[in-house]
Amino acid sequence: MLMASLPLHTAGPYVAGAYIAFLAIILLYVAIMATKLTRSERALRELTETVERRRSEGEE
């Protein structure tokens, strides 16, 4: 069932395909996590604004 050594021009696309698929999956995961972090950053900014607004209202 095993085949003999594949020449570079035949094996190249398989090797590139495996490494690119891996890279694409990891990048997709990192992109999703980065989106979530951006959302968290926005929420944190909103919360900071709320705290500052309440503080200034309290001082008045």
Partner 1 sequence: MYSKGLRPLSLITAVSVALTLAGVFYWAPNDAYLGFLQKIFYLHVPLAIITLGGFIAGGLMAVAHLRTRDPRWDMRSYVAIHISLIFGVCVLISGSIWARGAWGHWWVWQEPTLVSFLLIMLLYATYQPLRFAIDDPERQARYASVFAVTAGVFVPICFAIVRLSPAYVHPRTLDNISGNLPGRMQVVFYLALISTTLLWITLWRFEMTAKHVAAQIRHLRRLLGEEADDAPSRRSAAPSLTQVGSAG
Residues that bind partner 1 (CB under 8 A): 1-8, 10-12, 14-15, 17-19, 21-22, 25-26, 29-30, 33, 36-37, 40, 43-44, 47, 50-51, 54
Nearest residue (CB) to partner 1, 3 versus 60: 3
DSSP 9-56: HHHHHHHHHHHHHHHHHHHHHHHHHHHHHHHHHHHHHHHHHHHHHHHH
Smallest separation (angstroms) from partner 1 to the CB of 46: 9
Give me the least distance between CB of 45 and partner 1, in Å please.
10
Taking the CA atoms of residue 12, residue 18, residue 19 and residue 24 in that order, the dihedral angle to the nearest 10 degrees is 130
